[in-house]
């Protein structure tokens, strides 16, 4: 049985679907600080199965102890639970270090006392900052990230590395996500940003549906072909599947600690994403150029060769299909809200 922390969140819910589809039993722990319990209905409709659910905080030792006692079949963990708003982390760094770093430490302590030794951790390409060489591979230097949020990812990777090296049998993988976007093709689960979205895709779909007036494109004078920033946008379902293969790698191979980039290998500029969205969804998007956003790197995209070689995983779904899935989810979700 797999324990998925943060399993009602965006990436967690898609990964739970991928796990259930593959026949794994799943128990989720989530404190619902950034998700809704109704996500479980979407998971059930898609898979025909209901994962076990515990509403609780991964920082709470008693909650975790009880969870491991109640579900003694847990033999591996995928750890998504964290706060992820970059701007908020600059204003409230302690909140981020407390939740993201203490959450992992508490989980590792509990794993040790219940003899569970496998963990897959959600890291981020933010640990590379602005890489000197593109596409960036896992041998690139890890820098101190711009934000406290990003720094919690770097610190947690280091904690995992040290915990593995301490020789108590822990096996861990850090997955460095590039930019996950899109939704499940059923449109029954997707990204639920609370308040005004910071990320590009939710901002685009909310503009297209009329909740936001226009998209501001942050900067058009970067040293890129069209002047806008370049990122590696990866489909959420491709990303979810990577967690299942990473887990299987931990189960089946003699690995102690490893890191993998999860990206497509292709960079897309903000204007290219807008154009893919307009074409796939047959919509004209209202946007204008605005000054660059503080802390943005100019361009970053992955070299995903290591994940292909070692995990036999690669991203398959196109940007066009992915932005369309985000649009279908936005429409489905708004309809649902109206009906409730």
Residues binding ligand NAD (CB under 6 A): 5-6, 8-12, 29-35, 57-59, 80-84, 99, 103, 122, 124, 177, 180
Show the tokens assigned to 184: 């499940």
Supply the minimum distance, in Å, between the C-beta of residue 267 and ligand UD1. 11
Radius of gyration of the chain (CA): 19
DSSP secondary structure letters along 142-177: P---SSHHHHHHHHHHHHHHHHHHTTS--EEEEEEE
Q: Which of ligand UD1, ligand NAD, none does residue 326 bind to, with CB < 5 to 8 Å depending on kind?
A: none
Smallest separation, CB 151 to ligand NAD (Å): 12
Q: Which does 243 bind (CB under 5 to 8 A by kind): ligand NAD, ligand UD1, none?
A: none
Residues between 144 and 163 with contacts to ligand UD1, criterion CB under 6 A: 150
- Quick one: CA dihedral 67, 24, 77, 169, positive or negative? positive
Q: Where are the extended beta strands (E) located within the chain? A: 2-5, 26-30, 52-55, 76-79, 118-124, 171-177, 179-181, 215-218, 230-231, 233-235, 257-262, 268-269, 287-290
Closest CA to 174 of 189, 158, 188: 158
The residues in 50-109 that bind ligand UD1, with binding defined as CB under 6 A, are: 86
Token reading at 215: 């998209």
> Residue 291 has what DSSP assignment?
P
Three-class SS state of 221: coil
Smallest distance, Å, CB 147 to ligand NAD? 11
What x-and-dash track marks residues 287-316 binding ligand UD1 by CB under 6 A? ------x-xx--------------------
Residue 99, binding choice from ligand UD1, ligand NAD, none, Cβ under 5 to 8 Å by partner class: ligand NAD
Using rule CB under 6 A, residue 203 touches ligand UD1 = yes
Q: Is 233 a catalytic residue?
A: no
Q: How far is the CB of 129 from ligand NAD (least distance, A)?
A: 14
- Of the candidates 10, 96, 128, 149, the residue annotated as catalytic is 149
Residue 92 CA: distances (Å) to CA of 85, 96, 98, 212, 220: 10, 7, 10, 26, 30
From the list ligand NAD, ligand UD1, none, partner contacted by residue 58 (C-beta under 5 to 8 A by kind): ligand NAD
DSSP state of 210: T
- Shortest Å distance, C-beta 114 to ligand UD1: 31
In the complex with ligand NAD, which residue's Cβ is closer, 266 or 289? 266
Q: Which residue is nearest to ligand NAD (CB)?
A: 9
- Binding footprint of ligand UD1 on the chain (CB under 6 A): 86, 124, 126, 150, 179, 198-200, 203, 215-218, 229, 231, 270, 293, 295-296
Instruction: Give the residue numbers marked as catalytic.
Output: 149
């Amino acid at each position: 049985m797999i324990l998925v922390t943060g399993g009602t969140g965006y990436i967690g819910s898609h990964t739970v679907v991928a796990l259930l589809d593959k026949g794994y039993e799943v128990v989720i722990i989530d404190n619902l600080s950034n998700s809704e319990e109704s996500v479980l209905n979407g998971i059930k409709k898609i898979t025909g199965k209901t994962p076990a659910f515990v509403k609780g905080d991964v920082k709470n030792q008693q909650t975790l102890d009880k969870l491991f006692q109640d579900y003694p079949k847990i033999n591996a963990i995928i750890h998504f639970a964290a706060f992820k708003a970059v701007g908020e982390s600059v204003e409230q760094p302690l909140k981020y270090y407390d939740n993201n770093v203490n959450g992992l430490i508490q989980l590792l302590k509990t794993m040790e006392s219940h003899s569970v030794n496998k963990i897959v951790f959600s890291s981020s390409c933010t640990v590379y900052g602005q890489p000197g060489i593109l596409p960036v591979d896992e041998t690139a230097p890890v820098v101190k990230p711009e934000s406290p949020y990003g720094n919690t990812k770097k610190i947690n990777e280091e904690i995992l590395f040290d915990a593995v090296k301490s020789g108590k049998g822990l096996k861990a993988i850090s997955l460095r996500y590039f930019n996950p976007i899109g939704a499940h093709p059923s449109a029954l689960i997707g990204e639920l940003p609370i308040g005004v979205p910071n990320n590009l895709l939710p901002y685009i779909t909310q503009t297209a549906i009329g909740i936001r007036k226009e998209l501001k494109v942050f900067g058009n004078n970067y040293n890129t072909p069209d002047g806008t920033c370049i990122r590696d946008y990866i489909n959420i379902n491709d990303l979810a599947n990577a967690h299942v293969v990473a887990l299987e790698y931990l189960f089946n191979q003699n690995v102690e600690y490893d890191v993998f980039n999860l990206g497509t290998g292709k960079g897309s500029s903000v204007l290219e994403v807008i154009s893919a969205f307009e074409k796939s969804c047959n919509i004209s998007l209202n946007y204008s150029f605005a000054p660059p956003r503080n802390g943005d790197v100019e361009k970053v995209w992955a070299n995903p060769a290591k994940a292909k070689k070692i995990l036999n995983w690669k991203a398959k779904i196109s940007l066009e299909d992915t932005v369309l899935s985000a649009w279908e989810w936005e429409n489905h979700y708004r309809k649902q809200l109206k009906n409730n």
